Structure 1
Amino acid sequence: MASVPAVLQSEWTKIRTVSSTTWTLASAFLVTVAIGAALCAVFNASFDDLSTREQLSFDPTFASFSGMILGQLAMVVFGVLVVGTEYSSGMIRTSLAAVPQRGTFIFSKMAVATALALAVGLATSFVSFFIGQALLGDHRTSLGADNVLRAVVGGGLYMGLIALFSMAVATMLRSSMLALGILMPFFFLVSQILAAVPKVKTAARYFPDQAGSKIMQVVPDAMGSAEAPYGPWAGLGIMVLWVLAALAGAYLLIKKRDA
């Protein structure tokens, strides 16, 4: 029986020695920070052109996370590759032969990858915030203002949960291409479009990304975001429920089916 520390060490070695996972994490950081910085500069330059309503609902903290919609896609790719590469390369048989306890194997892999995604997510969130605020000029806020620290830490948690959710989906589907073919359009297009459609936007509020992103807002329903009947922590809780459901599905399937 393989010990949990040994399995964790093995999974850490796998992840850090695969260049694709390193590049996707670097991309998540760079894309989120760069786009957030660019849009904060634009907001500062054009703030006087905004309507009174837009000025009153402007959220400088949330503005710093304007790049998150693309940065989270890199986290999706990271999560999918961590699991999907095992299946596409055929290494899953070798891994399960070395660690017959399938639950130990898959959750050790996810634990290591989630810890790494969370560390990168928190670094991304704090760097995005400080650079964004520097570029917002007189419209900036500070980390010590009400609820700002919660929002910044929440941004890191959000990125970590996106990666974990993607790992669970990839485990259920056993295919990187299929997982990416579902998750990328969903987070980038489907969720955003449905959130703007009157007849379905009520349900779309409870999608993992729509609910989870509320943790990054300091001003409720800021900057044209959809109104929600729950607060920031409740929104993150809804996202956690999605992740737990995906993890349960991944566990049940990997226990019952052949590699």
Structure 2
Amino acid sequence: MSALAGRTAIVTGASRGIGRGIAERLATDGALVAVHYGSNEKAALETVEIIEGRGGRAFAFRAELGAPDAVDTFYAALDAGLAERGAAREFDILVNNAAASGSGRIHQLTTEVFDRLFAINVKAPLFLVQRGLDRLRDGGRIVNISSAATKHAFPDSVTYAMTKGAVDTMTLALAKELGPRGITVNAVAPGYIATDMNARRRATPEASAALAAMSVFNRIGTPADVADVVGFLVSDDARWITGQYVDATGGTAL
């Protein structure tokens, strides 16, 4: 029997990149996966098509996490998608992956970008958890996607790094709060992964080589490298792990 058979998983920002990789992994393990996206419907439907093409189950739903009514829109769209498939409104796994980046260095900051990054990267996951607590089943799993930028200086995007630091702190607090219900809460921190988000950093062969050299494996990570870590954390095998920052950087800067 598949490790996640009979379970429902939500992955935010699952239309591309790490989020798509996570959605594919959880579906392969047997979960019904709710593929959240903010704007790129075509990419989200591609994620669903990939999953279904491999015999998995998934559906896409939209909610702009930076909007004032983000949480209401999110759960209304989720409920509609679950109802269409005759599934219960309760779920077992929430992966807070969606994030915005690109704040720039300290002298480049604007209040508009600052507010947007904190709205999407911090406010949205916190209130998605709050609103979902009455439907997240006991023994459930929450995984927050953090970043290596919280452990290494990252002046190129100081606000982004700050938001991920807040995610790490939220992870600790939620793990303590939800432990009595058997719910684990962990953070997974990718390093440089080959996604659209950091494509500009891989614009030349020399730049790609420099990023690869930061890992002890001398390569840039893939979404599957992160997704497999998440797959473990949401499984029963990880029932005794909570409140942890899991480094998934390929040994960056050791």
TM-score by length of 2: 0.31
Q: Which of the pair is proportionally richer in strand?
A: 2
Q: Which of the pair is proportionally richer in helix?
A: 1
Query: Larger RCO: Structure 1 or Structure 2 (Cα < 8 Å, ≥ 6 residues apart)?
Result: 1
Larger Rg: 1
TM-score by length of 1: 0.30
